[in-house]
Amino acid sequence: MNILLLGPPGAGKGTQGALLSQALGLPRFATGDLLRDAVKHGTPLGLRAKAVMEAGHLVSDDLILGVIRAELAKPVAAQGVIFDGVVRTIPQAQGVDELLRSLGRTMDHVLIFDVTDAQLLQRLAARRSVEGRADDDPAAVATRLQAYRQQTAPVISWYETHGGVTRIDAVGLVDEVAARVMRALGRA
Ligand code: AMP
């Protein structure tokens, strides 16, 4: 089963993706984590992505589709994947759709994490004080939210016409949101 988690930065995709991965026994794949790891290790991918990420912009579709292709080719991905924040533009949605189709698979569920702006800003400020991520500083956060609204929000309409989406109220305690996610997947 392939599941896409979609929502603005700070919506809780990472937390819920990890819980879902455990509950369903499927690997969680987050392009954000993979890119941060590449930056940390100074790989060619990391060198190309570093400045763009730190400013809060989106990395190019070509780079992203390359890493998704490589991830899907891994044996561990054969039973399905929790795609956590992996699709952020319409070309990426189209590219992932083609990749999955070439493997005889589909995106089975698209979950949209809904959070108010006030909640997002509060959560990102809290995360910054704990994790110290460069792209959680206020200027980069503003750019990331703008990128979400301009480039990622239209992806929701794309999936609405290509299989459908399920909206999750992502405000509340971690366990409450996790229960909503399981209900949305028909597993509660
Ligand atoms: P995240 O950890 O999901 O907030 O991602 C951190 C940063 O990685 C984003 O602000 C982008 O610069 C980059 N990134 C992660 N996933 C993607 C993607 N699918 N497309 C473009 N850029 C991405």
- The CA distance from 92 to 108, in Å, is 16
- Three-state secondary-structure class, residue 135: helix
**9 CB under 6 A from ligand 1?**
yes
What are the tokens at 50?
Answer: 């570093």
Output the pLDDT for position 133: 84
**pLDDT digit string, tens, across residues 46-81:** 999 999 999 999 999 999 999 999 999 999 999 999
Strand, helix or coil at 4?
A: strand
Residue 18: which pLDDT band, with cuts at 50, 70 and 90?
A: very high
Name the nearest CA neighbour of 38 among 30, 27, 49.
49
Q: What is the mean pLDDT of residues 95-99?
A: 97
Which fold does the domain 2-182 belong to in CATH? Rossmann fold (3.40.50)
Residue 188: the pLDDT is 77
Q: How far apart are CA 10 and CA 131, in angstroms?
A: 13
Q: Is the CB of 53 under 6 A from ligand 1?
A: yes
Residue 187 Cα to ligand 1 middle (Å):
29
- The answer to whether residue 110 scores a pLDDT higher than 80 is yes
How far apart CA 44 and CA 101 sit, in angstroms, is 29
Q: Kindly tell me if the per-residue pLDDT of 102 is higher than 90.
A: yes
Handedness of CA 17, 18, 21, 24 (dihedral sign): negative
Spatial contact of 105 and 3, defined as CB atoms under 8 Å apart: no
Report domain extents, the chain.
2-182
pLDDT tens profile 151-180: 999 999 999 999 999 999 999 999 999 999
User: Does position 136 have pLDDT exceeding 90, yes or no?
Assistant: no
pLDDT value for 29: 98
pTM above 0.75, yes or no: yes
Q: Is 32 in the pocket of ligand 1 (CB under 6 A)?
A: yes
Each residue of 37-47: pLDDT tens digit?
999 999 999 99
Residue 13 confidence (pLDDT): 96
Catalytic (active-site) positions: 13, 88, 127, 133, 144
